[in-house]
Amino acid sequence: MIGLDAPTYPQLRSFIEIYLDPLVDQGALYKVKDVFVASKELHEFLESKSFRVLEAEIAVKAVKSWKLGFKWLRAPVTGPFTLASRIYLREDLSGGVSSTALSRKELVKGFFADYVGKAVEYMSNLGYNIVFLDEPSLTFIIGGRGLLFNYREEDIVDALEYAVRSAKGEVGIHVCGRLHHRLLEVIMEVPRIKYISVELHDTPQNLEVIDKSLLEKHDKILSPGVVSAKNPSVEDSEKVHSLLKAVYERTSGRIDLVSGDCGFRGLKGSIGDEEREYSIALSKLETIVRTVRKFTWSRGS
């Protein structure tokens, strides 16, 4: 056993396909090669039912059957902004992201926030007591030059809060890539979100954006990524320890749920051997667990 406190269900498929394939099955979307296209106005599918993620169900059954004593079961759920950014409103893709549902904020605040809310409720009912929204597209919407597509900050806060309204446990959000201070400010305004997961190993510049006073003001906890999710080299424990120490000092100890930068699906194909890639992912997790235990022990807590 590796010693994880909060494992996720395995996402062996794309984190987009997991949540959009049910809409394909119900006729709301269709695929052109690997691209999702809306078949009609998505508002017609607000009452879509029969939402299931078999991987999530199998994981819960395994935990119960084997009586595994995890503190948390964590469910990653792809957020409304990221799902909208992957759906084109017509087959003409020449407009890029401007041709996607992300450009229609009424769809994001209505259909997608509601749809993700159903997914969050489903995960909570299965027994997942911590839900993380995966929202890499937020780094695209919120930047130093303003917000795209006439979004207001309150639009983003409202959509995220509505999406997690049915969570029965804790709520977090994961945002990939280089962060802007304004993005963190907006996320921290979402009342239900407690944990903010960011990558700090491959994007160490993000540490300079972390604002302890904002974390304290909004009572948020940083969930730091401390190993690479795409580089197949297993990190040296001492270097991970140094990064963890830097994050701890930057936040005055407001950290928890230490993890990799992102999901380890990024390792797939990195060395051309799936078994070794899987073994590397496990080794990275072991490094995190061992380092966190050493760090906690050194702090006397």
Q: How confident is the model at residue 112, as a pLDDT?
A: 94
Count the Cβ atoms, other than its own, within 10 Å of residue 105: 22
Q: Is residue 10 part of a domain?
A: no
pLDDT for 48: 56
Residue 233 confidence (pLDDT):
96
Residue 12 lies inside a defined structural domain of this protein: no
For the entire predicted model, the pTM comes to: 0.94
Run means of pLDDT, 10 residues per run, the chain, 301 residues: 90 92 89 89 63 93 92 96 95 90 94 94 97 95 85 97 96 95 96 98 96 96 97 96 97 97 92 94 97 87 55
Structural domain includes residue 6: no
Count: domains in the chain: 1
- Please report the pLDDT score of residue 99 as a whole number: 94
Instruction: Give domain status of residue 4, yes or no.
Output: no
Q: Where are the alpha helices (DSSP H) in the chain?
A: 17-25, 54-65, 80-85, 105-107, 113-126, 138-141, 153-163, 181-187, 212-218, 237-251, 274-299
For 290, the token pair is 């061992």
Is the residue at 153 inside a domain?
yes
For residue 56, being part of any structural domain is answered with: yes
Asked if 8 contacts 285 with a C-beta cutoff of 8 angstroms, the reply is no
Domain for residue 113, yes or no?
yes
Quote the distance between the C-alpha of residue 193 and its chain's center: 12
9 part of a folded domain: no
Which CATH number belongs to the domain containing residue 268 in this structure?
Answer: 3.20.20.210
CA 46 to chain centre: 23
Contact at 8 Å (CB) between 130 and 169?
yes
pLDDT of residue 43: 63
In which domain, by residue range, is 138 found? 17-299
